[in-house]
Amino acid sequence: MSGGAQNVGVTSRAVTAGLGAVYVAASVVAPLVLKTTPSDLDLYFWPSAETVVSGHPLLIYAAHLHDVYPNANGPLGLVPLIPVAALANALGWAGSLAGRAALAGAVVSLAVLLLAYQTVGLIETARGGVRWPLLVACSVLLAPALWIGVLDYGHVEQPVELCFMLLAIRCFLRRSNALTGIALGAAVLTRTIAGFCALPFLLIPPATGRPRASAMIALAAAITITVVMAPFLVADAQAVTHSLMTYRGSLPIGGGSVWIIVRDASWAGAIRSGDVYIGAAVALALVAVTLRRNPTVARTPAGLAGLLTVVSCCFPLLAKTVFPYYLLEPYLFAVLWWLCRPGNALNWRAVVPLLLTIDVFIVKAAQSLPSSSWGVVASVVSSCVVGGAIGLVTLDLLRTPDAAMQVPAARLDHRRQGVAAVQDARR
């Protein structure tokens, strides 16, 4: 019997490795076939990566000092691209849109596979086991927001950012406060908008009687960000400040956003310069109200994932311009909120990640003709969909008791023993 279990384990690992190789291959081939126009990868991230390869790693923001759109993410977002740029230069592919996108796809696909593995692991920890791990992994690997974000828009940093976010979730659940802060800091250094997702991590500890934990998380995150960014600020403070802080205030109101209906109003300037702060304020209020009304949600992986879904939705809800890849973070957290609960996964909560997936295509339609009447309608519909997702998750968090969000301890121990027995048999 142990021999049969061992054979099943070997077969399972072989199938998993084979499917992973197919996914990497697809990530390489897709750009070679479909990449025809420049994306953010080519316009903003690639010049910064080339700056690193050429020997000036602290000047990665200088290339777009006077541009409307700069490289608006932290330096860790370039980590997947640096070896790609070096290899592309060696192969003579640096000038090929498709060639460098294919190389980037190969590297980023590894981060996506890690992200899928982390997602399955978190759900397995919360539920005590996952019956169909491949299906759960596919909910990440095949997410339209992910493929559109990486292939169409070239945002190769998002999977890396989300890997750090899931690491932060795991550390937070284990009450490793310093490591949680470091992971959050790394996420912000990869993609600046990850700052929205820090709110639940900072507000949950005081709501559960652990204010020192919140201070430790904030301090560790601040130190991480300061240590990494200090050399860049010393080397080129003007370009860093423009790229990461001030550039956004000069951008117009665009497609995908509900604000498009007031873009010609006399007070639209307040939206152009303060949309991120409005979104952050709404996210802060929603988390604070939820924790005050039902602090027990903070004790479970599903509750934490639900709060992260809410705060990450606030950015595409209130940003002055919305792109399809903005919905990747809300989608992933919604999948965790849905699947981290005990019981049958076929329930109404599956509607939220489905709605966010549909909204990816609504936003893409709104971006195609942002100033047309159809573009305006699509923008408003998109905001309604995201607002609906926020409402559904928030109501669920307010109404669901702690006991309904976690597997009973006895059953969890039983499942873990079963998993351990299978692993021992495989060895």
Residue 303 CA neighbour count, 13 Å, CB half: 25
- Whole-number mean pLDDT of the chain? 90
Q: How many CB atoms lie within 10 A of CB 23?
A: 19
- Which residue in this structure is represented by tokens 């027995």? 421
Residue 43 vs residues 63, 107, 180, 238, 399: alpha-carbon distances, Å = 10, 19, 33, 20, 46
CB 222 within 8 A of CB 344: no
Kindly report, residue by residue over 180-205, the tens digit of the pLDDT: 999 999 999 999 999 999 999 999 99
When pLDDT is cut at 50, 70 and 90, the band that residue 289 belongs to is very high
Which element (helix H / strand E) includes 388? helix 373-399
pLDDT of residue 358: 98
The beta strand positions in 78-176, using DSSP E, are none
For residue 170, the one-letter residue type is R
Handedness of CA 318, 322, 326, 331 (dihedral sign): positive
Enter the pTM of the model.
0.92
When pLDDT is cut at 50, 70 and 90, the band that residue 422 belongs to is very low
Whether the predicted pLDDT of 7 surpasses 70 = no
pLDDT of residue 425: 42
What distance in Å separates the CA atoms of residue 62 and residue 107, rounded to the nearest whole number? 25
Kindly report, residue by residue over 378-416, the tens digit of the pLDDT: 999 999 999 999 999 999 999 877 655 665 544 445 444
pLDDT of residue 44: 93
Nearby residues of 213 by Cβ (< 8 Å), 6 or more positions away = 175, 177, 205
What distance in Å separates the CA atoms of residue 257 and residue 384, rounded to the nearest whole number? 10
When pLDDT is cut at 50, 70 and 90, the band that residue 250 belongs to is confident
Whether the predicted pLDDT of 352 surpasses 60 = yes
What percent of the chain lies above the pLDDT cut of 90?
Answer: 76
Whether the predicted pLDDT of 5 surpasses 60 = no
